[in-house]
Amino acid sequence: MLLKELRKHTKLAAKRHPMFEKNKFGKFYIYFMMLFWAGYFIFFGIIFGFGFADMFPTMEPYHIMNKGLFIILAIDFLFRFAFQKTPTQEIKPYLLLPIKKNKLLNILLLKSATNSYNAFWLFMIVPFAFITVTKYFGITGVITYSLGFYLLMILNNYWYQMCRTLINEKTYFVIIPIVFYGLLLTLELTLGNPVSKFTMEVGELFIKGNLLSFLGVLIGAAGLGWINRTIMIRNLYAELAKTNDTKIKHVSEYKFLEQYGEVGEYFRLELKLLFRNKRSKSMFRMGCFLIIMLTGMLFTPSYEGPLGKSFVGIYNFAILGILMLTQIMSFEGNYLDGLMSRKESIYNLLRAKYYFYSFAVIVPFILMIPVIIMGKITLLMAISYCFFTTGFIYFIIFQLAVYNNKTTPLNESLIGRQSTGTGFQSLISLMSFGVPMLVINLLRIAFGEIISQLIFLAIGLALTFTSNYWIKNIYKRFMKRRYKNMEGFRDSK
């Protein structure tokens, strides 16, 4: 009954959220993508069902699938980082009710296990099983195989929850899944494929309806669920007591910015915003990680062609801006009333943000120096992408400052709520990346490599040096819409 109540509350929380109306586009997009991926999975199931039989005539297709179970689980684990959050039901309202804390947490964990996402891979497995398993094991085999697979997904769900909760707490916990999957890969490659042999056996036991195999998975899921609960209890007390960052050893003051007046003060504020709040810190770290990864990709042969180079080059310069600036003003929504009570502070804030993220493109530029020296990309290409980012791409993304009116929490917590982006933000992100790709490739076709990069550079320089004008324009438009924005920020706090 409590599970039913909590589910009802979650649905009502989403439906009655002040941004529900504004996110209708987002909802439609999500449903569309769900249908798309479901269809895609069914397609894969059918293709694998017939394809494995042709590619591996000496083995049953389900053996091949079962050998790859760990790959599927690893892919699922990564997917969950994009789609699944840790149980962020607002626990606080329930804590003082006559419900045992452990029961509440158990219900939350049960809720995550019965999440429909855990059944998503069945769109692939069920058609696959119909094609490959019914031959020897009939419909019963399909049912038991699907059930076993579903239980594996629940196990994976708890494994993901545990890793995600720990990583949210401290980023260095990312070493746990890295070591785990690294170890499995090493064992698989060096000791005669023990991992895939094991999963092949487990899969076969599922098909045969072996009770011990189901029990084993259930025990594993229960164990991980228990670990999750222990971590959640510990975090819950820490959050209630707000002990997480009450003791700061060193307060960074960034004194060198004092000489730059009000804009310098907002530049300093931006630095503090980034490094003192969980949400912005995680996003910033992700951006830096992606920049390093993307630079590394330039060393690989896969990105030697002009298309690959421009993809990685543009993305490398733009990614931090796209990640952070699509939320422009949304973090400030937490204290916008205070900012609005001071003259032109929003204008100086926007200028400071622009300078900050313009300086930030130095990082990918420096990381690209070895790639430039090795001749993989030219200096002209790097400079043109750099200024195109600070010019055109930021010009596009900064427009969101006028329209963003949903507060993004600064510090996500186990007992807090989370927010998702709007459809308009997704569109701007796509445009910020897609339009430059389109432009550079069209220019390349029309004018060749060097002229296209010079044109790219010219566009970037023009918008960079006129930034004060378009930022002022954005500020004026923001002020015209200020009441609507302030209302939106207040409602979504």
Partner 1 sequence: MATIKINNLQKDFGEKRAVDIDNYVINNGDILGLVGNNGAGKTTFFRLILDLLQASNGAAFINDIDSSKSEEWKNFTGAFIDEGFLIDYLTPEEYFYFIGKMYGLKKEEVDERLTTFERFMNGEVIGQKKFIRNFSAGNKQKIGIISAMIHNPELLILDEPFNFLDPSSQSIIKHILKDYSQQTGATILISSHNLNHTTDICPRIALLEDGKIIRDIDNVDNSAEKELEAYFNVE
Q: Radius of gyration over alpha carbons of the chain, in Å?
A: 26
Half-sphere exposure of 113 (CA within 13 A, CB side): 21
Which candidate, 455, 467, 323, places its Cα nearest to that of 390? 467
Alpha-carbon dihedral 455, 461, 462, 465, rounded to 10 degrees: 180
Q: Provide, rounded to whole angstroms, the least separation between the CB of residue 328 and partner 1.
A: 16
- Residues whose CB falls within 8 Å of the CB of residue 345, separated by 6 or more in sequence, listed in order: 262, 266, 339
Half-sphere exposure of 56 (CA within 13 A, CB side): 11
CB 483 within 8 A of CB 471: no
What are the backbone dihedrals phi and psi of residue 19, each rounded to the nearest 5 degrees, phi first?
-90, 5
Helices (H) and strands (E) in the chain, counts: 25, 0
Residue from 211, 301, 343, 373 touching partner 1 (CB under 8 A): that is 343
Q: Provide, rounded to whole angstroms, the least separation between the CB of residue 241 and partner 1.
A: 10
Residue from 116, 341, 373, 445 touching partner 1 (CB under 8 A): that is 341
Whichever of 245 and 304 has its CB closer to partner 1, that residue is 245
Whichever of 11 and 480 has its CB closer to partner 1, that residue is 480
**476: contact with partner 1 by CB under 8 A:** no
DSSP alpha helix (H) spans, 57-133: 61-67, 69-83, 92-95, 101-113, 122-132
**170: contact with partner 1 by CB under 8 A:** no
**207: contact with partner 1 by CB under 8 A:** no
Buried b (16+ CB within 10 A) or exposed e, 355-380: bbbbebbebbbebbeebbeeebbeee
Q: Provide, rounded to whole angstroms, the least separation between the CB of residue 250 and partner 1.
A: 9
**Contact map string, positions 410 to 449, toward partner 1, x by CB under 8 A:** xx--------------------------------------
The stretch among 47-55, 92-100, 228-236, 336-344 that binds partner 1 (CB under 8 A) is 336-344
Whichever of 58 and 341 has its CB closer to partner 1, that residue is 341
* Total interface residues for partner 1 by CB under 8 A: 33
What part of residues 250-289 is at the interface with partner 1 (CB under 8 A)? 251, 253, 262, 265, 269, 272-273, 276-277
DSSP state of 301: G
Residue from 92, 135, 285, 493 touching partner 1 (CB under 8 A): that is 493
DSSP state of 305: S
**242: contact with partner 1 by CB under 8 A:** yes
Q: Could you write out the DSSP letters of every residue in 459-474?
A: HHHHHHHTHHHHHHHH
Whichever of 411 and 420 has its CB closer to partner 1, that residue is 411
Q: Provide, rounded to whole angstroms, the least separation between the CB of residue 260 and partner 1.
A: 11
**247: contact with partner 1 by CB under 8 A:** yes
Q: Provide, rounded to whole angstroms, the least separation between the CB of residue 242 and partner 1.
A: 6
Angstrom distance (rounded) from CA 172 to CA 424: 33
Residue from 114, 296, 344, 379 touching partner 1 (CB under 8 A): that is 344
Whichever of 336 and 463 has its CB closer to partner 1, that residue is 336
Binding site for partner 1 (CB under 8 A): 242, 245-249, 251, 253, 262, 265, 269, 272-273, 276-277, 334-338, 340-345, 410-411, 483, 486-487, 490, 493
